[in-house]
Amino acid sequence: MYRTHTCGELRLTDAGKTVTLAGWVQRTRDLGGLTFVDLRDRYGITQLSFNVERDKALCDQANTLGREYVILATGTVKERESKNLQIPTGEIELIVTGLKVLNAAKTPPFTMEEETDGGDDLRMRYRYLDLRRANIRKNFELRHRMAIETRNYLSAHHFLEVETPVLIKSTPEGARDFVVPSRMNQGEFYALPQSPQTFKQLLMVAGFDRYFQVVKCFRDEDLRADRQPEFTQIDCEMAFVEQEDILRMFEGLAKHLFKAVLDKEFSSPFPRMTFDEAMRDYGCDKPDLRFGMRFNELNDLLQGKGFKVFDEAELVVGINAEGCAGWSRKQTDSLIDFVKRPQIGATGIVFLKWTTEGLKSTVDKFFTPEQLKAWAVRCGMKEGDLLCIMAGKADRTRKQLNELRLHLGDLCDLRDPWAFSPLWVVDFPLLEQDEESGRWHAMHHPFTAPKPEDAHKLESDPGGVKANAYDLVINGTEIGGGSIRIHDRAMQEAMFRVLGFTDEEARYKFGFLLDAFEYGAPPHGGAAFGFDRWVSLFGGRSDIREFIAFPKNNAGRDTMIDAPSRLDAAQLAELGIASVG
Amino acid sequence: MYRTHTCGELRLTDAGKTVTLAGWVQRTRDLGGLTFVDLRDRYGITQLSFNVERDKALCDQANTLGREYVILATGTVKERESKNLQIPTGEIELIVTGLKVLNAAKTPPFTMEEETDGGDDLRMRYRYLDLRRANIRKNFELRHRMAIETRNYLSAHHFLEVETPVLIKSTPEGARDFVVPSRMNQGEFYALPQSPQTFKQLLMVAGFDRYFQVVKCFRDEDLRADRQPEFTQIDCEMAFVEQEDILRMFEGLAKHLFKAVLDKEFSSPFPRMTFDEAMRDYGCDKPDLRFGMRFNELNDLLQGKGFKVFDEAELVVGINAEGCAGWSRKQTDSLIDFVKRPQIGATGIVFLKWTTEGLKSTVDKFFTPEQLKAWAVRCGMKEGDLLCIMAGKADRTRKQLNELRLHLGDLCDLRDPWAFSPLWVVDFPLLEQDEESGRWHAMHHPFTAPKPEDAHKLESDPGGVKANAYDLVINGTEIGGGSIRIHDRAMQEAMFRVLGFTDEEARYKFGFLLDAFEYGAPPHGGAAFGFDRWVSLFGGRSDIREFIAFPKNNAGRDTMIDAPSRLDAAQLAELGIASVG
């Protein structure tokens, strides 16, 4: 070992000890005769002290040290004269008697402070320097801790971690697969798993009873800030369970992580909301419950009074922005601009303000003061509040108002990243219909079972079938979800038919699973959680890339190693493939 | 929850309770009026009891249950009349009052007992049934336990588990990469990692200090029983360490696993042997030390006496097979046949037997009794022993005698899978020369540092350079290994030159690492352990496929899901690739 202690370890009680530290030069201060060096490692920062009277040569050497030099310093621990009580090692310093440069460093391309001057591209290209920033490194300490706690919780509950294969078969449903050409079976390809779904179900058929895996999954999709081509899932499955057992088990996991990692206690059960309620009351299936602004449907009050926009709408719906009545015209106009952006595509907002002067709406001429009063009562307004009303096609209007609600939540500072509001959304529809093609898609995936009471109408009324499927939503982010699965061959075949598979396709892609269901498949269900997202939520940030050591950019590139890259011709020839087009 | 208890849980103290069990029908015995069903789950087997007098309908139903039916049984726990003390639940049975078939089962294609009648192909095709066999499932309980213990040990020693990317850049050295065509960057490919080597080194440059990962790695090589295209590694790296620190840390891990998993205590340090000693004394770099038969070099005693085979040999070397003097001519002939097989390619063995009639060799006419006596003394023989001597080119002869030694170890039952003999092999050569091309290859990998005292001759005398590289060998299996790495740009560039890289190639493939070394790279080193192999060693088996849930066969196929497979034309077109040839 080069060092006797880390840079975060020495305290006043170590005074007098001779120690050796190793680390990086965070900064050097030459005070003329006296030089201080802040030596940094993962564990902390310790002040090194050099004195020209004590040892001129050593002091001169210290003055030549550049930022990020890797050095070894031996000396005696001494109580500091001017203490820094902000850091754990701030009461001591090291009176250096020996100094060795282990490796010099060029000037880094950006500052390695909490707020860096490095742009995204530069930081990613020199990710190994970016990762030296204490706030970024803490993200990985958090990630490590959450993984360990997850494994220990699940292991204590008799889950076995079983590694499922990465080289599997391509069965793209929805998302695209990454594929791997096979050298030994030319013309054939493996696929990287989008999830270990079928394997974990086979482990249930195998009697493993409780399975989990913290596992990399892959999707060849166009990327966004919260999507990476490879991502990590906490993947779980249990046999002989009903939905209630699964919710209880993973609510337990979530509570365990909240407590162990963030020291947050949730004494009561997480609230639950059906999918239909969530859509009706918040216009989305992952409502952020850190704040109110529940939807109020207003058709009965607002229609038939001659205001065409309302009269012609399928849905008129409003949310009450508490305390916003004093907003200026400029501020409310900017809300209208917000919903008119093409990503949202609304036509406008009708406002009702309740100021000291009473209720005032932007459509006063169509409504009486009593009518406005009735809106306010319906929406629970009080003086000082601002009602925002949107109208139009029901689905689209709900989506638009949801966007506005989240935006208002941001503007009103109601979305504190350190306040956590977990929620189970349950009773998802089994299928959703593609508007254009009219085809049915699995809302969750093709292995989700219909609710037993709806099973009979799977083929006759697919849209009316609900599933025992559930999502865990925290602060408006879908952390994970799952379902009770089909474990019966006939039911699975019916499901594939509804999804438009021919029997041949179903057999070709999933014959092994259909076969397995005939050899004693137990009832089972499970869940999967997006680990990157969960960690970033616990880290108080929304960009998952800050919690992935070496992420890809939005073009799917790792700019540090410069991947992907061209292969040489021999490598392609050996694989029996060629690049075309 | 379908069940109130598992099938491994009920004891005499539960007598009188009403419980519900769920599981698989292991077997049914219809004793005429009395029917017993063994109900199995992951946790055990519980006997269900049906009595025609008690409930004829129920008893009739029980008699219709087939093997591997999934059922639910409710009833009362009762003390058994004839107890089975072989199993933990053997003192009780369940007097069944309610029975429900959750899923019927076709007759399985092979028996699911410890010794199955299913051949390899059938077992792999129906792996989900094979995994129901208790002895196979135990392998995965072991694997889970070892992974948890490994993580907790390393975490307690301040290692952070950091996930490195799976989609990286192709830089094949030695083994072939699996590659992944990029849709977003057409004509370019990712590669799957053969190991996270460069990433873990960058994490050291980033100041992470101690890193580990239990991680899937990939090699597109032709397969054998102990090789899979995807395999799992315990991958570790530490900064500011010397070889001794690394050996101590991972000897600690090994001892922890021995204790926690197998309850085996190793109180003294693992023995160490240099690479040169291992080659000299055992003819291989991973000697199995569960038994002796150390090599005895005999050139000085055996040459110059007129026996041409010895006289013309570069090396004459023997091993003493204790207690084998009584072997028949047929037995010793079979040893000769063994070494003459093309895989070994030796020309023969000279034997010296020490029986009650004294010493007798197969080359008596060239040597005096005194000379034979001298051989025996040199090799530590006693009456009853058999000396086996081989001669020829030094390297080849050592390899051949190593094979014979292991074979003799098997024949003499000296390789008990439950006796464990760990060993560190140290001081590996940095490079090895390809006999045909004369090119130098990294013995470990191109990032291993030369020993400081040998560094000056890296380019002038590559073959004479040793490395601080080490392997952990247990029972003749290389469980893992590692080295102190290069952390200096100039040294790494010199290493690439010795390996025959042009500067351009080095920069293209590893420019990011060379750059990183200029921004404050600490001295570092690490190790990686083959997790599949380690688990199989602890499981007392040599076939790693028994410890991998869904392995590939020797043609790289998963016959259960039938992968790899052909892609449809649209998928290929979207990726911009075509199959050729």
From chain A, the residues in CB contact with B206 under 8 A are 127-129, 131-132, 137
Indicate whether B555 belongs to any domain.
no
The region, left, alpha or beta by phi > 0 then psi within -120 to 50, assigned to residue B240 is left
**Distance of residue A124 Cα from the nearest chain B Cα, in angstroms:** 12
pLDDT over threshold 90, residue B114 = no
Indicate whether A4 belongs to any domain.
no
What are the E-state strand segments in B240-340?
Answer: 272-274, 296-297, 315-321
Among A128, A161, A554, the residue to mutate for chain B (most B Cβ within 10 A): A128
pLDDT of residue B52: 95
Indicate whether A174 belongs to any domain.
no
- Are residues A159 and A265 both part of a single domain? yes
- Are residues B259 and B146 both part of a single domain? yes
- Are residues A306 and A262 both part of a single domain? no
How many A-B residue pairs are in contact by the CB < 8 A criterion?
358
- Are residues B519 and B478 both part of a single domain? yes
Q: Cβ separation of B161 and A170 shorter than 8 Å?
A: no
- Are residues A220 and A245 both part of a single domain? yes
pLDDT of residue A30: 95
- Are residues A256 and A299 both part of a single domain? no
| CA pseudo-torsion sign A456, A457, A460, A466 | negative
Residue carrying structure tokens 């040999």: B313
pLDDT of residue A172: 74
Indicate whether A132 belongs to any domain.
no
Please tell me the total count of domains within chain A: 3
Last residue of a domain, one of A532, A556, A575: A532
- Are residues A143 and A267 both part of a single domain? yes
Among B123, B166, B173, B180, the residue to mutate for chain A (most A Cβ within 10 A): B180
Contact B481, B495 (CB under 8 A): no
pLDDT of residue A225: 65
Q: For the segment B238-249, what is each residue's pLDDT rounded down to a tens digit?
A: 999 999 999 999
pLDDT of residue B225: 65
pLDDT of residue A581: 62
CA distances from A109 to A106, A127, A129, B426, B519 (A): 9, 11, 9, 40, 10
pLDDT of residue A454: 97
Last residue of a domain, one of A380, A415, A450: A415
Looking only at the bridges linking them, the beta strands covering B160-161 and B179-181 are unpaired
- For B220, name the nearest residue in chain A, comparing CA atoms only: A183
| CA pseudo-torsion sign B312, B317, B321, B322 | positive
Pick from B195, B177, B190, B191: which is nearest to B232 by CA? Answer: B195
Among A106, A190, A227, A230, the residue to mutate for chain B (most B Cβ within 10 A): A190
Residue A25: give its domain's CATH number: 2.40.50.140
pLDDT over threshold 80, residue B223 = no
Q: Give the whole-number percent of chain B exceeding pLDDT 90.
A: 93
Q: For the segment B337-357, what is each residue's pLDDT rounded down to a tens digit?
A: 999 999 999 999 999 999 999
Indicate whether A281 belongs to any domain.
no
Q: Cβ separation of B132 and A40 shorter than 8 Å?
A: no
Walk along chain A (581 residues) and give the pLDDT tens digit of each residue. Answer: 899 999 999 999 999 999 999 999 999 999 999 999 999 999 999 999 999 999 999 999 999 999 999 999 999 999 999 999 999 999 999 999 999 999 999 999 999 888 888 899 999 999 999 999 999 999 999 999 999 999 999 999 999 999 999 999 998 777 899 999 999 999 999 999 999 999 999 999 999 999 999 999 999 998 776 789 999 999 999 999 999 999 999 999 999 999 999 999 999 999 999 999 999 999 999 999 999 999 999 999 999 999 999 999 999 999 999 999 999 999 999 999 999 999 999 999 999 999 999 999 999 999 999 999 999 999 999 999 999 999 999 999 999 999 999 999 999 999 999 999 999 999 999 999 988 889 999 999 999 999 999 999 999 999 999 999 999 999 999 999 999 999 999 999 999 999 999 999 999 999 999 999 999 999 999 999 999 999 999 999 989 999 999 999 999 999 999 999 999 888 999 999 998 86
A273 has which bridge partners?
A425
Q: Cβ separation of B561 and A168 shorter than 8 Å?
A: yes
- Are residues B149 and B253 both part of a single domain? yes
Last residue of a domain, one of B364, B396, B415: B415
- Are residues B58 and B29 both part of a single domain? yes
List Cβ neighbours of A32 (8 Å cut-off, separation of 6 or more): none
- Are residues B96 and B156 both part of a single domain? no
Q: Is the ipTM here above 0.85?
A: yes
- Are residues A308 and A380 both part of a single domain? yes
- For B180, name the nearest residue in chain A, comparing CA atoms only: A180
DSSP A288: -
Amino acid at B154: L
pLDDT of residue A118: 86
- For A515, name the nearest residue in chain B, comparing CA atoms only: B126
pLDDT of residue B542: 84
Contact A2, B240 (CB under 8 A): yes
Residue B334: give its domain's CATH number: 3.30.1360.30
- Are residues A432 and A526 both part of a single domain? yes
Indicate whether A282 belongs to any domain.
no
Indicate whether B260 belongs to any domain.
yes
Contact A7, A47 (CB under 8 A): no
Q: Cβ separation of B581 and A41 shorter than 8 Å?
A: no
From chain A, the residues in CB contact with B216 under 8 A are 163, 166, 216
- Nearest 10 degrees: Cα torsion B204, B207, B210, B212: -60
pLDDT band per the 50, 70, 90 thresholds, residue B404: very high
| Pairwise CA distance, residues B20 & B7, whole Å | 10
Q: Cβ separation of A578 and B573 shorter than 8 Å?
A: no
Indicate whether A93 belongs to any domain.
yes
pLDDT band per the 50, 70, 90 thresholds, residue B581: low
Tell me the residue range of the domain where B76 lies: 12-103
List Cβ neighbours of B469 (8 Å cut-off, separation of 6 or more): B426, B427, B428, B430, B443, B444, B448, B481, B482, B483, B484
SS3 call for B29: strand
Q: For the segment A388-438, what is each residue's pLDDT rounded down to a tens digit?
A: 999 999 999 999 999 999 999 999 999 999 999 999 999 999 999 988 889
pLDDT over threshold 80, residue B29 = yes
Contact A231, A143 (CB under 8 A): no
Residue A444: give its domain's CATH number: 3.30.930.10
| Pairwise CA distance, residues A519 & B21, whole Å | 19
Q: Cβ separation of A176 and B574 shorter than 8 Å?
A: yes
**Distance of residue B314 Cα from the nearest chain A Cα, in angstroms:** 41
